[in-house]
Amino acid sequence: MDSQVDRYDAENPEFSNTFLRLKKFLERQVGKAIADFNMIEDGDVVMVCCSGGKDSYSLLSILLALRARAPIDFRIVAMNLDQKQPGFPEHVLPAYFEKLGIEHRIVTEDTYSIVKSKIPEGKTTCSLCSRLRRGIIYRVAHEIGATKIALGHHRDDMLETLFLNMFFGGQIKSMPPKLCSDDGQNIVIRPLAYCSERDLERFARAMEYPIIPCNLCGSQETAQRKQVKAMLREWEQQHPGRIESLATALTHIVPSHLQDHSLFDFKNLQRDTPVGEGDIAFDTAETSQKPHLVPLEGIVRKQNVIVSSLHKAI
Ligand code: SF4
C-alpha cells in the first residue's frame, strides 16, 4: 500500500496530495466509527470479508493502515468466499493477499449451484444466497477464532437500507454498525459506516485494486434498490448537505417525537413526566431544530481508554 502512495508522490505531486488527504480522511472516519461503537478492542481477531469489490478492498487497506499505528494489538485475517459463480477469477484475491503479505483464508463453497437449483429462473436469488453466505462466514469465523467479522458496507448502503425499509417495509430501520448474531456467537462490525460511497470509489480508483465484477451471479439489483439509490444520488447533487444530515440523523433518534410505544411510554405520559427533548408542540417542523450536523472529524467520545487512544492515534 505504501508503495502505491509513493508512486503517486513521484508521478504527480498534486494528485498525490489529494489522494493522501482522502486516505487520511477515510482513515479518520473509520477510526471514529471504530471508537464510537467500540468495534475493535485489544486482542481482537478481525476477519475482514473481502468480495473483490471496491468497498471491501478499501476496508482492508484502511484497517491495515490503522493497525500499523494503533496503540492496541489486534490481528487481521482477510477472508474470501468463492461461491463458484461462473467466471469468478479465483486467483485474484489470493494473489493480492499474498502480495500484501497478510494472513488470509480462501473458502470455496458452491452456493451458486444450490441457489440456482432452488430458486426458479427469473426470481431474486439474493435472499437465499446471503443466508447461505452468512452461515459459511460465521462457521469460518469460528474456525479461525475471529472475535469480530468486518463487512464493507458504507454510509450510503445504510441510508439506502433505511429508505427501503421505510418505503417498502413500514419500519425505520437501517443496517447496524455493530451487531451480535442471533446465536450470540459472532459480532459483526461495519467500520465504513461513516464513509461515503463516492469517497470510497475515488480511493479505490486511485489504489488500482484488481476489482472483481459483482454481477457474476447474474442477479441484478432490485428495482426498489435502484430507485432508492437514484433518489439519494439526485439529492446529493441537488441538495448539498442533505445526505450528511440524513447520516447524522441516524445517530440522533428522538423516541418521544415518533410513535413507537415500545420506545416511549406515551400512555403513561403525565404533566410531571420529564421528557428530555423538550416542548416543541407549537413549533413548525422546519424551524424547531437545526439539523444536528456534527463534523465527523474532531469529536472524541471518551468511551474507554483503549478506544479513545486508538482514535487519537488515528
Ligand atoms: S447479488 Fe448474487 S452474489 Fe450477491 S447476494 Fe445476490 S445472488 Fe448472491
Q: Is residue 276 part of a domain?
A: no
pLDDT band at 285 (very low <50, low <70, confident <90, very high): low
Phi and psi angles of residue 53, each rounded to the nearest 5 degrees, phi first: -95, 170
Q: What is the mean pLDDT of the chain?
A: 87
Q: What would the pLDDT profile of 34-70 be if each residue is shown by its tens digit?
A: 999 999 999 999 999 999 999 999 999 999 999 999 9
pLDDT of residue 121: 86
Q: How far is residue 64's CA from residue 1's CA, in Å, rounded to a whole number?
A: 9
Q: Is residue 259 part of a domain?
A: no
Q: Is residue 303 part of a domain?
A: no
pLDDT exceeds 90 at position 128:
yes
Q: Is residue 261 part of a domain?
A: no
Lowest mean pLDDT segment, chosen from 136-145, 160-169, 273-282, 297-306: 297-306
Residue range 124-150: average pLDDT?
Answer: 95
pLDDT of residue 196: 97
- Which protein residue's CA is at the shortest distance from atom 4 of ligand 1? 126
**Secondary structure, 3-state, 56-113:** HHHHHHHHHHHHHHCCCCCEEEEEEEECCCCCCCCCHHHHHHHHHCCCEEEEECCHHH
Q: Is residue 188 part of a domain?
A: yes
| CA 50 and chain centroid, separation | 13
pLDDT band at 215 (very low <50, low <70, confident <90, very high): confident
Residue identified by cell 439474493 is 126
> What distance in angstroms lies between residue 130's CA and the mean position of ligand 1's atoms?
7
> What distance in angstroms lies between residue 27's CA and the mean position of ligand 1's atoms?
28
Output the CA–CA distances (angstroms, integers) from residue 45 to 37, 141, 188, 244, 294, in the order listed. 17, 9, 12, 32, 31
Q: How far is residue 220's CA from residue 124's CA, in Å, rounded to a whole number?
A: 8
> What distance in angstroms lies between residue 124's CA and the mean position of ligand 1's atoms?
9
Output the CA–CA distances (angstroms, integers) from residue 134 to 137, 139, 182, in the order listed. 5, 9, 12
- Which protein residue's CA is at the shortest distance from atom 7 of ligand 1? 126
Residue 77: which domain range? 2-251
Residue 62 near residue 30, CB atoms below 8 Å: yes
Q: Is residue 272 part of a domain?
A: no
pLDDT of residue 294: 41
pLDDT of residue 245: 97
Specify the number of domains making up the chain.
1
pLDDT of residue 281: 66
Q: How far is residue 108's CA from residue 104's CA, in Å, rounded to a whole number?
A: 13
pLDDT exceeds 60 at position 130:
yes
Strand partners, 104: 78
pLDDT exceeds 70 at position 3:
no
Q: Taking CB atoms and a 6 Å cutoff, what residues make up the pocket around ligand 1? A: 125-126, 129-130, 217, 219
CATH number of the domain within which 73 lies = 3.40.50.620
Q: How far is residue 55's CA from residue 211's CA, in Å, rounded to a whole number?
A: 10
> What distance in angstroms lies between residue 85's CA and the mean position of ligand 1's atoms?
10
Residue with the larger pLDDT of the pair 14 and 191: 191
Q: Is residue 123 part of a domain?
A: yes
Q: Is residue 206 part of a domain?
A: yes
